[in-house]
A and B are shown apart, each in its own frame.
Chain A
Amino acid sequence: MTATVPVAVTDAAGRRPSCPADLAVVLSPASYAGGTVLDLSGPLTAGEIVLDEVVPARAPWSAVVRAGQVLTIVDVGGNQSGDCLLYSAADTGERYSVPDTISWSGTAYVRTGTVLRSNYGNALATVVANEIDRQDTIGGACGKESNTLRYGHHTMAEHGCRENFLAEAARHGMGARDIVSNLNWFMNVPVEADGTLGIVDGISGPGKRVAFRADMDILVLVSNCPQVNNPCNGFNPTPLRMIVTAAAETAPEKARKTAQGTEPRA
């Protein structure tokens, strides 16, 4: 439906993200459940913005993030799960590994400083900023087939993250065997003392962010989760904003440029 009031399509800094759909509709509260608040927020790290896109609700997304660049993910509408997989851009056989991330970090939750490791144990990326208490990496992805187990066969016609991952993976020459267990930005999956675990109400909100720095060139796949049967999206799928900022200049690079006279001395 078309919004009847003007919808802001820029953030507080005046930046307008790109979007594969009509941004005015994607950012209109009228497109979502009553009471939805949308906040485009902005990047969590300084540096030149090299990519700035809004992912509509329920859609897949992918991009290559170069080593040193930082990807900020904005939970525009609040408590929107961003299911995420990472691959080495040079060899997609090297990909995000839940158990290696958990085993090396010694914790089941992802927080600032967590190194997101590959199936070879290498650092793919490192979480450099996080505005909610903890991020999930044990809850996995929803999908048409698993929805039939969780909620019943009446949900079979609904779209899922596994379908988003398969569609986006296919664009990069990958298939079902390349889809492994994933990260869930802004999803809340506590593990209780007896091992009971599950997706409960989120601890995020409109405009909350997480940011990770690529430690090698990585291909990032995201499913903006379409799930409407549990609280992972607050039963109200909303957009995500993806902002890639350029690598911060390292001290040795700055010193070299200064010595070469290509940069004014401080």
Chain B
Amino acid sequence: MAGTSTGHETDTVTAARSDARAQSGRVADAMPYLPASGTPFAPPGVDTDLLVWAETVAAGGYTHKVLARGSRIRLEDVTGEACAHVLLYNALEPWERLNVADTMKIPWQAYPGTGHPLLSGDGRVLATIVADDSGRHDALCGTSTAAAARAKYGDPAPQGPSPSGRELFVLAAAKHGLTPRDLPPSISFFKGVRVRGDGGLEFTGSAGPARAVELVAELPLIMLIANVPHPIDPRPGYVSGLLRVHAWRSAPTGPGDPYWDAAPETHRAYLNTTDYAGARGL
């Protein structure tokens, strides 16, 4: 029955095994590339032997990874319609996690860009934005809830056509033993928001296709990414696009690096971070 209607011969275990194995080697628009060094989309100028993560994330999809201190992570908005909602945790003590208020308040700057530290609530830098040719990012609006996605698109479920960011974060977090209580406000890349003088929000949208942002992991990180529309994107449809992720072995920010002592607040944040890493033997 199944064989005639689906094109699969699976009426015995041997046939089912052959059928499953015949699927090897296929390619999809959204998939991880293993080993990472074999990525078909290697970032320019990067020694592919150093790659530790290579993946294309579906529109409305999610991904997650544990990364060493010193990893450099590149997120690329392939079509101009991706929006990468990101949560970061200290992989060693995951109750230390991204704090968007400190991330805006301590550098005295609401709009993330090159050189901006992504801070935890514990006075340390989880990651630094070290490259950015988009400039359209947001730390104010978080990601979409099921309630918001239901009101706007109809179906917020992860298996449906318009997943909410929070539903995807719940799944990504669970794969690292984290629960919905472990989901603080997130930051997003590739869709901009500005605050007008009266406090009103202005959606500035995308900078276009093939824009990238790069982060350096300043601590061992659990990184969760949900690729869903920005919560105040005014377009009525569920507009999303492929997100490409690469990471490679590099070095954390240290003395002599341009961001190490660029500002007194972030300088002390790097001091706290290297103090923690040193005491832990990292």
Binding site for B on A (CB under 8 A): 93, 97-100, 102-104, 106-109, 119-122, 134, 138-141, 143-150, 152-153, 162, 175-182, 189, 191, 193-199
Q: What chain A residues lie within 8 Å of B195 (beta carbons)?
A: 108, 191, 195
Q: What chain A residues lie within 8 Å of B5 (beta carbons)?
A: none
When the two chains form the complex, which single residue of B108, B166, B182, B265 contacts A177, counting CB atoms closer than 8 Å?
Answer: B182
Q: What chain A residues lie within 8 Å of B199 (beta carbons)?
A: 107-109, 134, 191
Minimum distance in angstroms from B150 CB to a CB of chain A: 9
When the two chains form the complex, which single residue of B145, B180, B231, B268 contacts A148, counting CB atoms closer than 8 Å?
Answer: B268
A98 touches B100 (CB 8 A): yes
Minimum distance in angstroms from A158 CB to a CB of chain B: 13
**Chain B contacts with A in 166-207, Cβ cutoff 8 A:** 166, 179-186, 194-195, 197-201
Q: What chain B residues lie within 8 Å of A196 (beta carbons)?
A: 108-110
Is B78 located at the chain interface by the 8 A CB criterion?
Answer: no
- Which residue of A is nearest B232, CB measured? A103
A145 touches B123 (CB 8 A): yes
Q: What chain A residues lie within 8 Å of B99 (beta carbons)?
A: 140, 181
B148 touches A104 (CB 8 A): yes
Considering the chains assembled together, what is the distance between the CA atoms of A103 and B184 in angstroms?
Answer: 15
Name, among B102, B122, B183, B200, the residue most crowded by chain A CB atoms within 10 Å (CB to CB).
Answer: B102
Is B269 located at the chain interface by the 8 A CB criterion?
Answer: yes
**Chain B contacts with A in 226-249, Cβ cutoff 8 A:** 231-232
Minimum distance in angstroms from B24 CB to a CB of chain A: 41
A146 touches B121 (CB 8 A): yes
Name, among A109, A119, A182, A193, the residue most crowded by chain B CB atoms within 10 Å (CB to CB).
Answer: A119
Name, among A138, A148, A162, the residue most crowded by chain B CB atoms within 10 Å (CB to CB).
Answer: A138
When the two chains form the complex, which single residue of B105, B181, B269 contacts A178, counting CB atoms closer than 8 Å?
Answer: B181
Is B15 located at the chain interface by the 8 A CB criterion?
Answer: no
Is B104 located at the chain interface by the 8 A CB criterion?
Answer: yes
Q: What chain B residues lie within 8 Å of A175 (beta carbons)?
A: 95
A138 touches B101 (CB 8 A): yes
Q: What chain B residues lie within 8 Å of A138 (beta carbons)?
A: 101, 104-105, 110, 140
Is B16 located at the chain interface by the 8 A CB criterion?
Answer: no
- Which residue of B is nearest A197, CB measured? B110
A121 touches B101 (CB 8 A): no
Considering the chains assembled together, what is the distance between the CA atoms of A152 and B271 in angstroms?
Answer: 11
B109 touches A149 (CB 8 A): no
A103 touches B141 (CB 8 A): yes
B147 touches A120 (CB 8 A): yes
Considering the chains assembled together, what is the distance between the CA atoms of A146 and B148 in angstroms?
Answer: 32
B109 touches A180 (CB 8 A): no
- Which residue of A is nearest B112, CB measured? A195
- Which residue of A is nearest B195, CB measured? A191
Considering the chains assembled together, what is the distance between the CA atoms of A92 and B142 in angstroms?
Answer: 20
Q: What chain A residues lie within 8 Å of B147 (beta carbons)?
A: 120-122
- Can you give 18 A-B contacts (C-beta < 8 A)? A100-B142, A102-B142, A103-B141, A103-B148, A122-B147, A138-B101, A138-B110, A140-B99, A140-B100, A141-B101, A148-B123, A148-B272, A149-B265, A152-B268, A175-B95, A191-B110, A195-B111, A195-B195
